[in-house]
A and B are shown apart, each in its own frame.
Chain A
Amino acid sequence: MDPKSLDFKTSWEYAPAPEGKEHIKINARYEHFIGGEFVAPAKGRYFETINPATEEKLSEVAEGSSEDVDKAVVAARAALDKSWSKLRASERGKYIYRLARMMQERAREFAVIESLDGGKTIRESRDVDVPLAIAHFFYYAGWADKIRYAFPGKTPRPIGVAGQIIPWNFPLLMAAWKIAPALAAGNTVVLKPAETTPLTALKLAELIQAADLPPGVVNIVTGAGATGAALVNHPGLDKIAFTGSTEVGKLIQRAIAGSRKRYTLELGGKAANIIFEDAAIDQAVEGIVNGIFFNQGHVCCAGSRLFVQESVYDTVIRKLKDRLETLIVGDPLDKNTDIGAINSKMQLDKISAYLKIGVAEGAELYQSSCKLPKKGFFCKPTLFLHCSQSQRIVQEEIFGPVLSVQTFRTPEEAISRANNTPYGLSGGVWTDKGSKIFKVSNALRCGVVWANTYNKFDPSAPFGGYKESGMGREGGLHGLQPYIQYN
């Protein structure tokens, strides 16, 4: 051991501090939410949803068939025509505010269920996912009666019925991103949550029912890919909003080509996080950690490619390795856990396959010395050092706690490598020099660039990708646009 190395195996450790789950209620079985009622699936089939940290079953959930999807679309259309479009915009706003307030009251319950069902740490679901989801409802509630001011000189109308398909990485937050702007603009929706994480959307359905939202304004049909395909292909929809993989995004584009359906797609990413030698290095290291290990790396805008200027490479890597030793991996419900469970067995297998690929491609694998729980799906925080641009671990989205590291000499080199990817969702720039921030962030071809920070979200800020990271924007004024048309 280097005599100058730091030792983070300390004689003083933190005792377990698990968040209580006595106050939450998860039903043994959940039905679809259609037309304001919980409705059993037409084919009578259900699938299990498990806790990825323990592999124990949490509940079973209705499996949506094309009959269920049809029922939901019909309910959404009826609600659009008969109630939602007849309401004054300010009344629509009140419903959305009401939902936001009710979510606030049950924030703790949402956070615990999000962590149980998806594996993310309670710290994140409590401090990020749930508050941000609520903030989205509050933000778009405010727009409901001001839409005409948002698009001056035009007469905006709702598009109609939107089919919305959301991923498993931020289940409740993505539901909020989809539902809030759609309702504010006067649309009705059919939402399909991801099959591994349906519970918080179904809890939200309970709130929607309790909030007395007109039946059919929000419908939730659960299921896997086939259910999603039935939704995408349903002729009764006016718009598809999808967040998920680039692969599925392309399938959706093909499926709806030539139809009247509009679409927004928020797809994958392989973001470059660029550290210049004049950056505040310790804070940049935090940004690297936050960029790739936030939500176990299950983040489409994760800073999964690290570019470090060669003069500070040794320092940055040394500090990064030390920081990895202080990350606590384990029980998502423990308030001290930094990295929770991988969302599913399937995702863990995919990540593990990439770890093998990276080693076979010749990159140097480095993992923290933490011990993983015996049960459940977990992955150590991982660095791949000395990566090359041509390697698959540099080119492909891994969607796990795996960071590929490269060096660069000039800003131009960093920019050209950062842009040398089919993706273009996000990027990070770290330097103490303001002019460099503007130069580099303007040259990066991606929808979001963070300077001296990473993974910052706000309902008023638009989010979306260049190139194969998607089209359309969500959040802010831009996020209303996909849900309106003009007279």
Chain B
Amino acid sequence: MPRNNAALAVTLPPQFVPIDEVGIDERVSRFSKRSIKKSSKVQALKLALSMLDLTTLSAHDTPERVRQLCHKAKNLLETMPELPHVGAVCVYGPLVKVAKEVLKGTKIHIAAVSTAFPSGMAPLKTKLIETRQFVADGADEIDMVISRGKFFEGDYDYVADEIAAVKEACGKAHLKVILETGELNTLDNVRRASDIAMHAGADFIKTSTGKVQPAATPQVTLVMLEAIRDFYYATGKKIGMKPAGGIATAKQALHYLVMLRETLGEAWLTPDLFRFGASKLANDILMQLVKEQTGAYQSIDYFSME
């Protein structure tokens, strides 16, 4: 659904916001120097688990594999039944129904990647059709990709209008907008794309598809969190953040949470407003939690792979 450009001009910030990469690097290094130990660590690791979008996005995903992943989402570790459940399971659209079946009766959301993921190279019309289909199949969240080509051409209106149209197609489902920061090249572009996505109606902004390197980095995540902060200051609306890809260890996750805490504060320390898109992270966090409880690291063989 194309939007009126004049209306858009009013809602976009008056000028593009410059980002200083050296300054971002310095701030990021401060987060990674926070020392998170003991009860503080356990609390944060449990929070991180609740923020997980347990993900499988492989061309050879099978219904059986998705079923197993959903069982893992419900039941992270048998020996620790008190653990929170993950935020969502993230799958390709055609597998939404499979996930829905297994997750029925739980509060775990189903996220479906949409809009010709991961390239976004498709006409808007087909992007809207698939989005509507996945929502109808039971997706609670839609993860779309922006049209990077149009972005680089400077056709920001196209990018914004497309997001707005997908948002409308989502209906009640939440919309996460993937910027694919690994292709945006500069932090200035990351900021620009974040602003466009939020103003066009994104509920969440997300770094990456996981198909392009680099995927999520602390640097792009900080730029996006600061964009969210400015949007909140300006509008009072809380936009969520999802770094995805490249976060494999509990320690990395802790540093992301430190960044979140010191940039946006208490209101964002919830799965409603922050998610990790990751496939390997869960087991590393579980391993750390078991270590905090028993004092020893267990073999990875004690943790089910999915």
A, B assembled together = yes
Contact of B269 among A11, A123, A279, A281 (CB under 8 A): A11
Does B236 have its Cβ within 8 Å of any Cβ on chain A?
yes
Does B267 have its Cβ within 8 Å of any Cβ on chain A?
yes
Q: How many of chain B's residues touch chain A, expressed as a range? A: 20 to 34
Tell me the complex Cα distance, A3–B237, Å. 11
- Which of B28-36, B58-66, B86-94 sits within the interface? B28-36
Interface pair B18/A278, CB less than 8 Å apart? yes
Tell me the complex Cα distance, A279–B15, Å. 12
Contact of A17 among B22, B35, B47, B267 (CB under 8 A): B35
Does A485 have its Cβ within 8 Å of any Cβ on chain B?
no
* With known contacts A14-B34, A336-B34, A280–B20 Cβ distance under 8 A: yes
Contact of A432 among B18, B27, B37, B226 (CB under 8 A): B18
Interface pair B265/A7, CB less than 8 Å apart? yes
Tell me the complex Cα distance, A336–B38, Å. 14
**Interface 1/0s, chain A 1-20, versus B by CB < 8 A?**
00110111111111101000
Interface pair A4/B232, CB less than 8 Å apart? yes
Contact of B266 among A7, A279, A283 (CB under 8 A): A7
* With known contacts A12-B261, A286-B23, A452-B20, A318–B233 Cβ distance under 8 A: yes
Tell me the complex Cα distance, A282–B35, Å. 24
Task: Report chain B residues within 8 Å CB of A336.
Answer: 34-35
**Interface 1/0s, chain B 13-56, versus A by CB < 8 A?**
00001111011101100000111111111011001000000000
Residue of A at shortest CB range from B268? A6
Interface pair A283/B19, CB less than 8 Å apart? yes
Task: Report chain B residues within 8 Å CB of A123.
Answer: 33
A208 to chain B, nearest CB (A): 31
Interface pair A17/B236, CB less than 8 Å apart? no
Does A335 have its Cβ within 8 Å of any Cβ on chain B?
yes
Does A453 have its Cβ within 8 Å of any Cβ on chain B?
yes
Residues of B within 8 A of A (CB): 17-20, 22-24, 26-27, 33-41, 43-44, 47, 226, 229, 232-233, 236, 257, 261-262, 264-267, 269
Task: Report chain A residues within 8 Å CB of B24.
Answer: 283
| Beyond A12-B257, A283-B20, A335-B35, 14 extra complex contacts between A and B, CB < 8 Å | A4-B232, A8-B266, A10-B265, A15-B40, A282-B19, A282-B23, A282-B226, A286-B23, A287-B23, A315-B233, A326-B261, A335-B34, A453-B22, A453-B23
A-B contact pairs, 19 of them (CB 8 A): A4-B236, A7-B266, A8-B261, A8-B265, A10-B261, A10-B265, A11-B269, A12-B44, A15-B39, A17-B36, A280-B17, A280-B20, A283-B22, A286-B23, A286-B27, A290-B26, A335-B35, A336-B34, A453-B23
Residues of A within 8 A of B (CB): 3-4, 6-15, 17, 123, 127, 278-284, 286-287, 290, 315, 318, 326, 335-336, 432, 452-453
When A and B form their complex, which 8 residue pairs have the shortest distance between CB atoms, in order from nearest?
A: A283-B23, A17-B35, A15-B40, A280-B20, A432-B18, A283-B20, A335-B35, A6-B265
Residue of B at shortest CB range from A452? B20
A53 to chain B, nearest CB (A): 18
Tell me the complex Cα distance, A282–B227, Å. 10
Tell me the complex Cα distance, A452–B24, Å. 11
Q: Which of B23, B36, B265 has most A Cβ within 10 Å?
A: B23
Interface pair B43/A12, CB less than 8 Å apart? yes
Residue of B at shortest CB range from A123? B33
* With known contacts A4-B233, A8-B265, A8-B266, A14–B23 Cβ distance under 8 A: no
Task: Report chain A residues within 8 Å CB of B233.
Answer: 4, 315, 318
Task: Report chain B residues within 8 Å CB of A10.
Answer: 261, 265-266, 269
Interface pair A11/B27, CB less than 8 Å apart? no
Task: Report chain A residues within 8 Å CB of B232.
Answer: 4, 6
B83 to chain A, nearest CB (A): 16
A219 to chain B, nearest CB (A): 37
Task: Report chain B residues within 8 Å CB of A287.
Answer: 23
Interface pair B229/A6, CB less than 8 Å apart? yes
